[in-house]
Amino acid sequence: MITILMGTYNGEKFITEQIESILCQTEDNWKLIIQDDCSTDAMVSILQSYVTNYPHKITLIQREFPSGSAKNNFISMLKFAKSEYIMTCDQDDIWLPSKIELTLKKMHESEGYYGKDKPLLVHTDLKIVDEKLEVIAESMFHYQSLDSKRDKFNNLLVQNIVTGCTIMFNRRLLEMVYSVPEESIMHDWWFALVAAAFGKIGFVNEPTILYRQHSSNEVGAKNANSILYNIKRLSNKEQTKLTIQSTYNQATSFLRLYEKELTEECLKIVNAYISIPDYGKLKRINILSESDFWKTGLMRKCGQILLI
Give residue 236's pLDDT: 75
CB 16 within 8 A of CB 46: yes
Please tell me the predicted confidence (pLDDT) of residue 231: 66
Q: In order of start, what are the domains of the chain with their CATH numbers?
A: 2-212 (3.90.550.10), 227-307 (no CATH)
**CA triple 255-261-267, angle to 5 deg:** 50
Please report which confidence band the pLDDT of residue 273 belongs to, taking 50, 70 and 90 as the band edges: very high
Is 220's pLDDT higher than 60?
no
Mean pLDDT of 269-275: 98
Is residue 113 helix, strand or coil? Answer: helix
pLDDT of residue 282: 96
Q: How confident is the model at residue 219 (pLDDT cuts 50, 70, 90)?
A: low
Whether 27 and 100 have beta carbons less than 8 Å apart is answered as: yes
- HSE-up (13 A, CA, CB side) for residue 152: 12
**pLDDT at site 274:** 98
Residue type, 265: E
Do the Cβ atoms of 195 and 120 come closer than 8 Å? Answer: yes
**pLDDT above 70 coverage of the chain, percent:** 93
Q: What is the mean pLDDT of residues 155-181?
A: 97
SS3 51: helix
Q: Which pLDDT band, with edges at 50, 70 and 90, does 307 fall under?
A: confident
Nearest to 88 by CA among 178, 6, 11: 6
The HSE-up count of residue 41 (CA atoms within 13 Å, CB side) is 11
| Three-class SS state of 204 | strand
| Helices (H) then strands (E): counts for the chain | 13, 9
**Residue 118, burial from CB neighbour count under 10 angstroms (0-12, 13-18, 19+):** middle
Question: How confident is the model over 196-209, as pLDDT tens digits?
Answer: 999 999 999 999 99
**Which of 65, 206, 178, 180 has the alpha carbon at shortest distance from 122?**
206
Q: How far apart are CA 303 and CA 235, in angstroms?
A: 10
pLDDT in tens, 224-267: 556 666 666 666 778 888 999 999 999 999 999 999 999 999 99
Q: What angle do CA 181, 257, 287 make, to 5 degrees?
A: 95
Distance of CA 172 to the CA centre of its chain: 18
34 pLDDT tier (thresholds 50, 70, 90): very high
